Structure 1
Amino acid sequence: MNAPVTFDTKSLNGGLAERLVVIGNGMAGCRAVEEILARDPARYSVTIFGAEPRVNYNRIMLSPVLAGEKAFEDIVINGDDWYADNGITLVSGDPVVSIDRASQVVIAQSGRTEAYDRLLIATGSDPFIIPVPGKDLAGVVTFRDLDDVDRMLAAAEKGGSAVVIGGGLLGLEAAHGLSLRGMSVSVIHLMPTLMERQLDEAAGFLLKSELERRGQTIVTSADTAEIVGKDGHVSAVRLKDGREFAADIVVMAVGIRPATALAKAAGIDVERGIMVDDHMVTSDPAIMAVGECIQHRGACYGLVAPLWDMCRALADHATGSPSGYEGSVTSTKLKVSGIDLFSAGDFSGGDGAEDIVMRDASRGVYKRVIVRDDRLVGAVLYGDTADGSWYFDLLKKGEDVSGIREALIFGQAFAAGGALADPNAAVAALSDDAEICGCNGVSKGKVVGCVLGGAHSLDAVRSACKASASCGSCTGLVESLLSLTLGGEVESGPKTLCKCTKFTHSDVRRLLIEKQIKAIPQAMQELHWTTPDGCASCRPALNYYLLCAWPGEYVDDQQSRFVNERMHANIQKDGTYSVVPRMWGGLTNPKELRAIADVVEKFNAPMVKVTGGQRLDIFGIKKEDLPAVWADLNAAGMVSGHAYGKSLRTVKTCVGSEWCRFGTQDSTGLGVKLERMTWGSWMPHKFKIAVSGCPRNCAEATIKDFGVVCVDSGYELHVGGNGGIKVRVTDLLSKVATEEEAMEVCAAFIQHYREDAWYLERTAPWIERVGLEAVKSALFDDPDAVARLAARFRHSQQFMQDDPWAARAAGDESELHQHLAEVRPLILETAS
């Protein structure tokens, strides 16, 4: 290796900026340019060659793109404006194929040449393809760039089976994404332990068990013999022991190798990687290299965090103030399918090493730290990674831990003397150079600097220094730093669902779908609930969100409902209940009135009252009589009015054109149709509809959640009204010409509200929070949106309206179910 040389080519070029050519438009190459620009923005004229026809994006976020959690636009690091603003020439989709070191020129695939004063090689790594028969078949892909993701998405659209060869991080992320896309996935891993470079045997076993519980097939100690094809396309993977797994696509994720071919062909010193010194300079003093393609002091790095250290050292050297890179102690903080994992250092144990282990089976938590000579040398955390940064800081600094040996496994708060009352204590104790965001190489000191510089919210910090802007696993640390730095001045974001979780309502709704969570205990485990069984706030919310997300799959948890919903009755202050049977659109008939009168007499109900929603409320019913009351009402064809549920309550109507001299449309008939369409639908909160037959608005449609005002030309549809403590007049959503259109928009609006609002949020505060234009956009920007939302509503209704609607009190309900079977055809008939 040559000693580093500092160039002063400005004097050679008549004072012009030096020509810096970068081979590689990935994370390492562009980060190095960012660091150089931060130190001396005028020093270089920069040209970047990229093999992909795209701007610089975050490659480690390809997994969320595959899983459908993000779009490409969400993972772009530097868009077109960054290149333009900094005077950078980007040559995309035209990779460099050779380097003429004598002439200091690079030649691209297109034949384009570019002279350089300084050359930076940042070619990254190449995926390793195991040399087995069938490896070149169509349908065998790797997982390294956006084109690979597109190929996997195309396969997933057709459905079928996928086999992922390799149980490392990339392989498991590919398997997770394909599974979310609906494919049946098998993971084949050569070693006995998944992610054996990051996890020990115990943590690997927990990970394997959890992935299998989610429906993936995990096969370890499995050696691939052949990829079987049919008509030139992959059809199966066969193992050496004879087992065979069907495959419509095979993802090779068995490892990476430094991409050194270009440097080697140019005569630059190469071993496993391109050899560099502490200043990231190669054997040619005019050529630097950085990232996964390099070898430094015998080590090659495949993780993101070391790249940032390399780029800082490279930029220091390239701008005349060399510092030097001394290598990196690597840590891995991961989220595999929503499972928290952390590993750092050497966890192999052995002579002279002491293992300290904690297992908490009920929480699915496993922790192991390895101590040698009173120094922490390794750590593996599964299920609870909150102390990962602290362990990593201890490991990097080689601090003596003998004084906290007994408390070490329990985390920083215990080691600091049990200061559990302050959740920020662990973060406050971190040093300024402690790593907060591994994805973007951001230290605690940098985050604090951004906050002091005016970034007073999580989004502002993300914009200022990119901490928490990628995978999001460090969000809690960043929020703690915001709180510590600003005290009470932190700009608050959305409130968390309840005290049991740090997630907001929106986060929980999104994660239930992304992670395919279909049970309340699973939600609490995977989303790190801080209480064993939740509370009265979160359990009903989780139950509703799961019902909404997985109609027909999730089984309604009655014990997670409020008592009124469980009993199908409103509890009154004397301990008795009131019962409200449904009257479609406010209409009734002698049979229904007779049934109500009979119930009142039979059970000595002391009062019957007409409600504001045009129904009869029967008061004073004893709890033990509720099943029998509902049996009698069901026998008359009457179902629950849900006057006590977070659901459709009433559809209030006026008499409309049939009787009223001012009526313009059949408001009563439309009200009945709307109620039959929407009854039994669980909502974030109570939901009321009204249909007024003319603009005189006798049904008070303009203070309802969904109101229809009939006019000569058709129907005005109003939303977001509230006639309660805080009166809110509706907003005009749209105008339609026919009843069918009114019903379709109503169904679409309700479904959007159900899918977007937070639990216990009425339509009025929901619309005030998100804005009427956002609601209109969701319904009308796409001409097919209303039809899709309405279809989802109808799909969920077939499960909700099929649910027994009578009281859920303890006792024999066989007689009740017999009555239900008799009246069900009448109740479920369409209004047409």
Structure 2
Amino acid sequence: MVNAPVSFSDKTAASALRERLVVIGNGMAGCRAVEEVLLRDPARYDVTIFGAEPRVNYNRIMLSPVLAGEKAFDDIVINDAAWYADNGITLISGDPVVTIDRATQTVIARSGRVEPYDKLLIATGSDPFIIPVPGHDLGGVVTFRDLDDVDRMLAAADKGGSAVVIGGGLLGLEAAHGLSLRGMQVTVVHLMPTLMERQLDEAAGYLLKTELERRGQTIVTGGDTAEIVGADGHVSAVRLKDGREFAADIVVMAVGIRPATGLAKAAGLDVERGIMVDDHMVTSDPNVLAVGECVQHRGACYGLVAPLWDMCRALADAITWDGATGSPSGYEGSVTSTKLKVSGIDLFSAGDFSGGDGAEDIVMRDAARGVYKRVVVKESRLVGAVLYGDTADGNWYFDLLRKGEDITDIREALIFGQAFAQGGASLDPNAAVAALSEDAEICGCNGVSKGKVVACIAGGANSLDAVRSGCKASASCGSCTGLVESLLALTLGEGAVESGPKTMCKCTSFTHSDVRRAIVDKGLRSIPQVMQELHWTTPDGCASCRPALNYYLLCALPGEYEDDQKSRFVNERMHANIQKDGTYSVVPRMWGGLTNPRELRAIADVVEKYDAPMVKVTGGQRLDIFGIRKEDLPAVWADLNAAGMVSGHAYGKSLRTVKTCVGSEWCRFGTQDSTGLGVKIEQMTWGSWMPHKFKIAVSGCPRNCAEATIKDFGVVCVDSGYELHVGGNGGIKVRATDLLCKVETEGEAMDICAAFIQFYREDAWYLERTAPWIERVGLDYVKAALFGDPQAVSRLATRFRYSQRFMQDDPWARRAAGEHAELHQHLAEVRPFQMETV
């Protein structure tokens, strides 16, 4: 039996000798307990940590992203070597303790090293359960508990082939997801009829199974493994008791875990399922404590991380107590919640959803959105919740459940979430976070409450990265990032929050730069492939990410990737700008601002034929035809195309205009043929899809009549040649250009223009104009890319001209009359990610 709560003696930080604290286990629980001790009394103990693995402490929760290729080992390290050194901790890695001698208060390591202790902390975690079926000891049968297991799975995935994962719980599904992303054909064999049956009810389990099958995995529920078949000492298949057989180059056992109690049992400590501990995490020996998955507290063993953090806090309170205040309160057990770390699948479960006498189920299903919600209420208290497809209210439900609050007043709106229950669907998301209690859990991976996050922010953390460094919230899987950002905004105000790299959109945790790099590095070839590889959280993307992905793929794969018109803004698809009355304006291209009688007649004919109420000269020296009805757009473009006029892209993320003055041909101040050069540049660059709209101007002399110094690329003609300017913007926030360089010839000016545009295409984020792009990366960065290598301009200009062969051939610009069936089809389509205005 466990001793009664220990009476801790009064000790002071001024003790002549520090007590010796030895920790068995360099994992998350052992090191977290040490962290908590150091927070309370850093001078109390001399700490020695024994670890079985030859590594520093890392986040085992994040092994799944390492397997999936989302993170590297360095990304999941919790405490690096410097942490041990800075805190005077002796780390003995790769040398596990094999014996505890309680009589002499020493531990003996496998190497024979003997270490004395005053307090001993056992944090040995758990061991994976291996089904004792024939063939379980064959080569290629692995578990999923540490980095070595991940390395074995990665080695198998590099060879390709098939994988069988035995076990459809959290770990099994995460292993299956990672191996699938690595290119293996994956089969999941699960004994029970429902995946994750401890966390999900039958309906949510079915939705999960359906989604995993849609991703290409084979899911076998009710599958009882009879034998692991091998050849030449290595696994080759898994056979079920019903006779079915599945090929396997690797088998992952993920059927459960057991508390690692062997060391404690051999030392004579009280052990049942786990090492028996009291509320202060003290074992049957008052000098030996235990924490984590290896313990049993009030009859319960925990395999999730949140209870471990509660245990560590209780333990640290106890062994640093100085006797001057009331006794430490101790650990009272935990209510747990679960989230699946498979990107693109939103799943949350907490509490008891088994129902039973007196329990009432409230269920909401939205088949079209793939959303399922079930809450279980008993005696006016929330006792369980299962959310699939929409987990935004998970923290709120968990807070209600954990506190046992009376939900009578919000009973009718409970299933619809916090916004409805607390005042209507228009509730600001930040207000929902503000309504959470101070002890509400924000970051489950690291056990960080709302109060701790707010305290961290109040202490000076004014950015997401600063919060991650200060209190570790959002530092692991990242699923709580939105909550942390809301707390930053609530605590500091929107304007005071330092912005770091923003994710591409709400559908992904990756930035624009991450996505662009992944497309090239991983050889991604389509929007669905990008979404699958980078684990989009929505099935089809949104109005922000689909146009960006389409552009990034088009830019990276000219001639190979087929432009996805459905992923373009509707204005780009119709080559027209929607106006406030619902009609459209059409802008045909006029090269360098020049026109001729044929083009003017064609425009006049269109205006009369389609009863356009207004024609206006634009700032870019073109004619804008207003008031065209939507149904007339295909015919309008057919008539203009017949006269040889192509789209002016006045609506697109592309080259808009090349503005010119008359230059040396007519103006007495002109130094060069600015009009002629402007026409050549526009003919070279027209139709260029870009991150944002792009404007060029060529001024014939320093008087700058074409306003070249507020354009994305500007040419100012001078007596000795041409000054080339970049990064200007004449919009709401006016920005004058930066001088890029001076050249002597038109050919040089055109080559550098092409090279600059190509570098901008390849480096900037979608919807980032050249002005903010240059302010973000710096002019020196641009110059280094263009001029750091003597061949850089030539290479970039060549890539530009090559890609123009495909980008210029836009589907509307050169169509003759009668070839616009595709446009009619596009006009009729409605997709949720399209936008009627840009």
TM-score between both structures, scaled by the size of structure 2: 0.77
Give deviations 1:463-513, integer Å, cap 9, x for gaps: 332223322333344444445555677536489999xx8789976897998
Query: Does 1:544 pair with 2:547?
Result: yes
**2:833 aligned residue:** none
For the residues of structure 2 that align with 1:225 and 1:693, how far apart are their CA atoms?
A: 84
| Counterpart residue type for residue 551 of structure 2 | C
SS in structure 2 of the partner of residue 175 of structure 1? helix
**1:326 aligned residue:** 332
701-710 or 305-314: bigger deviation:
701-710
Conserved in 2, the CA contact under 8 Å of 1:576 and 1:622?
Answer: yes
Give deviations 1:781-800, integer Å, cap 9, x for gaps: 99999999999989987875
For the residues of structure 2 that align with 1:692 and 1:143, how far apart are their CA atoms?
A: 66
| Counterpart residue type for residue 763 of structure 2 | H
**Where do residues 585-600 of structure 1 align in structure 2 (5 Å cutoff)?**
596=599, 599-600=602-603
SS in structure 1 of the partner of residue 565 of structure 2? coil
For the residues of structure 2 that align with 1:440 and 1:388, how far apart are their CA atoms?
A: 17
Percent sequence identity over aligned pairs: 73
For the residues of structure 1 that align with 2:639 and 2:439, how far apart are their CA atoms?
A: 72
Conserved in 2, the CA contact under 8 Å of 1:198 and 1:344?
Answer: yes
Give deviations 1:198-257, integer Å, cap 9, x for gaps: 111111112222233334333322233444556655554444444444444443322222
For the residues of structure 1 that align with 2:804 and 2:644, how far apart are their CA atoms?
A: 19
Alignment partner of 1:470 out of 468, 472, 476 = 476
SS in structure 2 of the partner of residue 557 of structure 1? helix
Give deviations 1:376-402, integer Å, cap 9, x for gaps: 322212233333333333333334444
Q: Which runs of 5+ in 2 are unaligned?
A: 322-326, 555-560, 664-669, 825-838
For the residues of structure 2 that align with 1:140 and 1:30, how far apart are their CA atoms?
A: 30
Q: Which runs of 5+ in 1 are unaligned?
A: 657-661, 818-832
For the residues of structure 1 that align with 2:163 and 2:679, how far apart are their CA atoms?
A: 50
Aligned CA distance change for structure 1 residues 497 and 752 (closer, same or farther; 3 Å): closer
Query: Does 1:751 pair with 2:762?
Result: yes
SS in structure 1 of the partner of residue 194 of structure 2? coil
The offset of 1:306, in angstroms, is 0.4
Aligned CA distance change for structure 1 residues 372 and 767 (closer, same or farther; 3 Å): same
Query: Does 1:684 pair with 2:685?
Result: no
**1:436 aligned residue:** 442
The offset of 1:359, in angstroms, is 2.1
Query: Does 1:764 pair with 2:771?
Result: yes
427-436 or 615-624: bigger deviation:
615-624
| Counterpart residue type for residue 567 of structure 1 | H
**Where do residues 348-387 of structure 1 align in structure 2 (5 Å cutoff)?**
348-387=354-393
Alignment partner of 1:448 out of 423, 447, 454 = 454
**2:287 aligned residue:** 286
**Where do residues 651-662 of structure 1 align in structure 2 (5 Å cutoff)?**
none
SS in structure 2 of the partner of residue 164 of structure 1? strand
For the residues of structure 2 that align with 1:394 and 1:747, how far apart are their CA atoms?
A: 54
SS in structure 2 of the partner of residue 170 of structure 1? helix
Query: Does 1:556 pair with 2:556?
Result: no
For the residues of structure 1 that align with 2:709 and 2:394, how far apart are their CA atoms?
A: 54
| Counterpart residue type for residue 142 of structure 1 | T
Aligned CA distance change for structure 1 residues 743 and 561 (closer, same or farther; 3 Å): closer
**2:820 aligned residue:** 813
For the residues of structure 2 that align with 1:258 and 1:209, how far apart are their CA atoms?
A: 33
SS in structure 1 of the partner of residue 813 of structure 2? coil
Query: Does 1:71 pair with 2:72?
Result: yes
The offset of 1:550, in angstroms, is 5.0
Give deviations 1:324-356, integer Å, cap 9, x for gaps: 222222122445323322222211112332222
Give deviations 1:282-320, integer Å, cap 9, x for gaps: 233322111111122222110001001111121122223
Conserved in 1, the CA contact under 8 Å of 2:2 and 2:270?
Answer: no
**2:649 aligned residue:** 642
For the residues of structure 2 that align with 1:508 and 1:682, how far apart are their CA atoms?
A: 17
Give deviations 1:612-657, integer Å, cap 9, x for gaps: 87x975857966765456457667887544243111335789999x
Alignment partner of 1:389 out of 395, 410, 414 = 395
Conserved in 2, the CA contact under 8 Å of 1:419 and 1:425?
Answer: no
Conserved in 2, the CA contact under 8 Å of 1:631 and 1:815?
Answer: no
For the residues of structure 2 that align with 1:272 and 1:686, how far apart are their CA atoms?
A: 65
| Counterpart residue type for residue 190 of structure 1 | L
For the residues of structure 2 that align with 1:794 and 1:186, how far apart are their CA atoms?
A: 47
For the residues of structure 1 that align with 2:137 and 2:644, how far apart are their CA atoms?
A: 66
Query: Does 1:721 pair with 2:724?
Result: no
For the residues of structure 2 that align with 1:185 and 1:568, how far apart are their CA atoms?
A: 47
**2:108 aligned residue:** 107
Conserved in 2, the CA contact under 8 Å of 1:702 and 1:730?
Answer: yes
Aligned CA distance change for structure 1 residues 95 and 673 (closer, same or farther; 3 Å): farther
Conserved in 2, the CA contact under 8 Å of 1:18 and 1:43?
Answer: yes
The offset of 1:521, in angstroms, is 13
SS in structure 1 of the partner of residue 376 of structure 2? strand
For the residues of structure 2 that align with 1:84 and 1:332, how far apart are their CA atoms?
A: 35
| Counterpart residue type for residue 648 of structure 1 | L
**1:32 aligned residue:** 33
For the residues of structure 2 that align with 1:203 and 1:455, how far apart are their CA atoms?
A: 39
For the residues of structure 2 that align with 1:795 and 1:193, how far apart are their CA atoms?
A: 54
Aligned CA distance change for structure 1 residues 565 and 727 (closer, same or farther; 3 Å): farther
For the residues of structure 1 that align with 2:675 and 2:730, how far apart are their CA atoms?
A: 20
Aligned CA distance change for structure 1 residues 340 and 609 (closer, same or farther; 3 Å): closer
The offset of 1:121, in angstroms, is 1.4
**Where do residues 216-235 of structure 1 align in structure 2 (5 Å cutoff)?**
216-229=217-230, 234-235=235-236
For the residues of structure 2 that align with 1:297 and 1:243, how far apart are their CA atoms?
A: 42
SS in structure 2 of the partner of residue 390 of structure 1? helix
For the residues of structure 2 that align with 1:220 and 1:325, how far apart are their CA atoms?
A: 37
TM-score between both structures, scaled by the size of structure 1: 0.78
Give deviations 1:570-597, integer Å, cap 9, x for gaps: 97999674443485xx699xxx979747
For the residues of structure 2 that align with 1:553 and 1:229, how far apart are their CA atoms?
A: 45
Query: Does 1:341 pair with 2:374?
Result: no
For the residues of structure 1 that align with 2:117 and 2:537, how far apart are their CA atoms?
A: 51
Conserved in 2, the CA contact under 8 Å of 1:159 and 1:182?
Answer: yes
Conserved in 1, the CA contact under 8 Å of 2:583 and 2:627?
Answer: no
**2:574 aligned residue:** 566
**Where do residues 22-101 of structure 1 align in structure 2 (5 Å cutoff)?**
22-101=23-102
Conserved in 2, the CA contact under 8 Å of 1:631 and 1:816?
Answer: no
| Counterpart residue type for residue 109 of structure 2 | A
**2:412 aligned residue:** 406
103-112 or 186-195: bigger deviation:
103-112
Conserved in 1, the CA contact under 8 Å of 2:713 and 2:753?
Answer: no
Query: Does 1:199 pair with 2:200?
Result: yes
| Counterpart residue type for residue 651 of structure 2 | Y
Give deviations 1:796-826, integer Å, cap 9, x for gaps: 8787556513389998636999xxxxxxxxx
The offset of 1:142, in angstroms, is 2.9
Aligned CA distance change for structure 1 residues 169 and 663 (closer, same or farther; 3 Å): farther
Give deviations 1:695-726, integer Å, cap 9, x for gaps: 99999876543579999x99998653335565
Aligned CA distance change for structure 1 residues 302 and 776 (closer, same or farther; 3 Å): farther
Give deviations 1:723-773, integer Å, cap 9, x for gaps: 5565534457799999989866753431221xx34x3x3110233245456
Conserved in 1, the CA contact under 8 Å of 2:25 and 2:124?
Answer: yes
For the residues of structure 1 that align with 2:241 and 2:791, how far apart are their CA atoms?
A: 50
CA RMSD of the aligned region, Å?
Answer: 5.4
For the residues of structure 1 that align with 2:724 and 2:178, how far apart are their CA atoms?
A: 40
